[in-house]
Amino acid sequence: MKSKWNIYIGSITIFLSIIAIAVAVATPEVRCRLGLETNQCPEDSEMKKVDLIVQNESQQPLSTVNVEFISDGPPEPVLTDANGYAQIKIPSTTDVQITLRKDGFETKSYRIDLKKDPGLTRKYTLKSTSPLTPPTPPDEPSPVPPSPSPTEPSLTPISPISAKPPKVECKIVDEIVDRIFNDGKYTETIPVANKPEQPVSRLYVTRDNPRSVVCKIQKSFGELPLAYALPENSQLDSIVTKVYIDGKLRKNIDLNRGEALREKIDIKGASTYKLEFSVPDKSDKGDYIYVLEK
C-alpha cells in the first residue's frame, strides 16, 4: 500500500514539474535567457551605448583611464584608448555611477541618468595631482646703455603686408558643437601630409555618432573657407564631409587619413550652411577630425 502512495506522489510531482517548466519557457524573459526568443529581448532594448571622452586640464586625451561602473552584477572595468575614448553599455531606465581612476590624477565619480539627460556622448576632465613646479625668480635686469643722440631717421621702404581674406561671420546653432568648438585654446600639433599642422579645435566622430555644424550666416563675403584634417596617425581611414547651403547638398567630400581639406565654397546670398562629418559604414572605429586655421 505504501509503495502505491509513493507512485501516486511521484507522478503528481513529475506532472507539476512539467507544468512549471512549460510556464517558465513561455515567459519572454526566460526565453531570452535561454536564447529561444527570436525578437529583441526586453532587457536588451533598455541598454544604451554611451561614449566617454576623458581628458586632462589642457584638453589632451587621457589613455588607460580605468572606468568602473555597476550595471548588472559586479563592477565592469573599461580602459580608455589613446584618444581618451571608451564605450560603456548601461540601462536607459536607471541612473548609473561611473568612477574614473588614473595614477597621477584625481579619482572622480559621476552619475549618468539617461532619463534626465539622453545624450550618448559624455566628456570628463581629470585634474593632475602632481605638485606644481615653483616659478623661477626673474633675473636681475641688465643695465641699459644710454641711447645715442638722435639722428635724422632714414626713410626705409616698408613692404606691404598681404591682407588675409575676410571670414564668414555666423552664429553656431548647435549648442553641443558650439561648446566643443569653444572649449579653450587647442595646442596639440598633428602630422598631416608629412608636415606638422596646428589645429584650433577638434570633433570626435564615430559611425554611430556623426557630427554636424549648423551656422546661421550673419555676414557673408561670398565664400565659405573650409579647413579640416585627418592626421596621419588617425584610427580612421577616411571621413565623409557633406556641405549643405540653405538645406541643399552643395558638395560631398571624402577626407582620407593624412590629408588636409582646404577649399572655398560659394555662399553668395545664402542664409545658413551646415557641415556634416560621418564615418563610412565599413568602419567600426572612431577618432578626431581637426579644425585648422581658415
Q: What is the pTM of this model?
A: 0.43
Could you tell me which residues come within 8 angstroms of residue 233 by beta carbon, excluding any fewer than 6 positions away?
Answer: 190, 191
Answer yes or no: do 114 and 188 share one domain.
Answer: no
**Within a domain: 138:** no
Question: Degrees (nearest 5) of the Cα angle 107, 109, 113?
Answer: 160
The pLDDT tens digits of the residues spanning 176-192 come to 554 555 445 567 788 99
68, 103, 125: which is the final residue of a domain?
Answer: 125
Query: What is the predicted pLDDT for the residue at 127?
Result: 92
Cell reading at 44: 536588451
The domain tally of the chain equals 2
Query: What is the predicted pLDDT for the residue at 262?
Result: 87
Q: The domain that contains 56 carries what CATH number?
A: 2.60.40.1120
Query: What is the predicted pLDDT for the residue at 53?
Result: 94
Q: The domain that contains 216 carries what CATH number?
A: 2.60.120.1060
Choice among 115-119, 121-125, 148-152 with the minimum mean pLDDT: 148-152
Answer yes or no: do 49 and 109 share one domain.
Answer: yes
Answer yes or no: do 180 and 93 share one domain.
Answer: no
Query: What is the predicted pLDDT for the residue at 89?
Result: 87
97, 125, 153: which is the final residue of a domain?
Answer: 125
pLDDT band at 44 (very low <50, low <70, confident <90, very high): very low
The pLDDT tens digits of the residues spanning 54-93 come to 999 999 999 999 998 776 655 667 899 999 999 988 888 8
Instruction: Give the Cα separation of 52 and 180 in Å (integer).
Output: 14
**Within a domain: 101:** yes
**Within a domain: 9:** no
Answer yes or no: do 195 and 117 share one domain.
Answer: no
**Within a domain: 178:** yes
Full residue range of the structural domain in which residue 85 is found? 42-125
Answer yes or no: do 190 and 275 share one domain.
Answer: yes
**Within a domain: 17:** no
